[in-house]
Structure 1
Amino acid sequence: MSTLQELVRPELRGQTPYGAPQLDVAVAVNTNESSYPVPQVVVDQIARDVAEVAASLNRYPDREFTRLRTLLAGYLVRTTGEPVTPEQVWAANGSNEVLQHIVQAFGGAGRTALGFTPSYSMHPLISERNGTTWVDGLRDADSGRFDLDGDLAVEQVRRHDPELIFVCSPNNPTGTSLDLDVVLRVYDASDRAVVVVDEAYTEFSRAGTQSAVSLLPGRDRLVVSRTMSKAFAFAGARLGYLAAAAEFTDLLRLVRLPYHLSTVTQAVACAALEHTDTMLAMVEQIKVTRDELVAGCAALGLQPVPSDANFVLVGGFDDAAATWQALLDRGVLVRDVGIPHHLRISAGTPEENDAVLRALKEIA
């Protein structure tokens, strides 16, 4: 072991960093990005707004990102119908930094975080890298959809008594949404746990799916995390946010780095939010191609999980790793999420969708 390996924190020794393959392929549908570029009208607005603030880059940014929080709150009010105020909103460089702020403030040494596997792989990584003990909770694997059973979830909350609980709706990598009754039961099962509902893909949900934002009033330990990376086609901008009680967001100021959101980031995000309808116009098309991907995979004899996200978890592969490689050999990059016999495939453009289904047909 090298000297540096001896000096690094013990829990980091032998660990590998998070990473998804970034390969030059014809069809990259492995990281749930939008395959559609930012619309030109928004590009033009971003260029104007960044040029306007460029001369002021000798000064620190607005530490409270006041205008951005106001626009994000307005977006939540408009899309959920709930009374969210700017004081209830927090933002950071991607939803992963938002989640990290939560763990830094409410996790740490001697504290426990509980999640229900399979789910978003960054929840345990962020928790453990910040000294929090991670507990892999159980889902109902027998359903074929990996649903989160309310009774099972409550039993695990009471048994482990964690300080932090993570749930995803829609869940990544399964694409399934969570009934709000389960969220309520998980919340009520503890009198001290901060419950984080990760809604990174919520804009892609099918009709009738409710957001946990509606549960925020009167629940100061409940947090709803969101991102602009997916539905806003803004993965490169790195802007995530959350809604919670105003007292909760105020406590996050204790752990954020000074001026953590740059002037440029704030300007770019605000420009996108001023063109919300344009930015979200692609969502309906992606939902169509997602459903076509589900139907196409089913027609090939595979086992796709009906999805509320911009991706589909597909089962029925004898050897998921071998299938992943065979697809890559045909110029199609998907995600092996480590679930036996399953691969996760992002819904791309109609042309990308067709390429994926052609490649799967060749392999079958």
Structure 2
Amino acid sequence: MTKTKPRILVVDDEESIREIVSRKMQQCGYECWSAPSADIALELIDDLPFELLIVDILMPGASGIEILRYVQGSYPETAVVLVTAVNDTHTAVEAMKMGAYDYVTKPFNLDALAMTVNRALEKRRLLEENRGYRLHLEDKVREQAEQIERSYNSAIEALVAALDIRDAGTEGHCRRVVDYTLLLAKAMGIEEKSSMWNAIEYGALLHDIGKIGLPDDILRKPGPLNEAEWERVKLHPEQGYRVLQGIPFLRNAAEVVYSHHERFDGTGYPSGLAGDAIPLGARIFAVADAFDAITSARPYRPARPLEDAVEEIERSRGSHFDPKVVEAFLTILPELTANPVEAA
């Protein structure tokens, strides 16, 4: 495969300088273009990709410094070598601080200029290689992170499925309540796929994961629980919290799990949190959870109509539920009616 020659642009208002520099660059194996002014140079720079520019600082009209500034902002991968008068090296040094690779002074030695250009292009090549390696590494890290997340998600789905099997009375509840919770979160203005969105999604999916440790005689009991049994059930938010705290990407979701039985007026459990002290994700989940509980069938009762759910949720505004979340819930009622989530 033919290797592409590096493309160089020589910018100088003196035609003789442009000609001798261009000839030298061509002898060194480079494709060389030239421009007599900054305006023409900028047009060429926008039209063609140049690996390197050789630019006179002092020219009529826009200066070489202005070309450097433009290139640094728009084409930072392009190397720039400046040409300056012997008595203006201060400007050249300041330009190097702006990002120029190097400078040469007039009258210059063509061989020395060629060596400077070679070094600049070699540095550019190494920077491009490093950038390629970095992008490759970032891709690999991202792929591994996605693979880890997929593995975690598979494990989470397995845990939820295991809980569904054990708690047959609420089978499918986790998946439905996630859908309702995310509809509410969106109505509350939470950005999709943000860290808060993910915490709410996983928190809703895993809200009852602490029940995995409950014995079957409590979890499957057909009648009402006695006081001791109820106290044991009330431990499941804390137990779920402890499980999720050990998984780095689920730590924010753990806060939702811990607080999903808190009530807005402070009468919930496990900590009796009230108002904004309850994580927003848990306040959103509470309304979604109640809606699903009311409108889904249970072994001991049939599903109740949507109107009953709305009435009960509105009645509990400010006591059980955050009034702002209830308002958001009312705005998504048409969507819930038009696209009901199917029960499992």
TM-score (norm 2): 0.26
The structure where helix makes up a greater share of residues is: 2
The structure where strand makes up a greater share of residues is: 1
TM-score (norm 1): 0.25
Higher CA-based Rg: 2
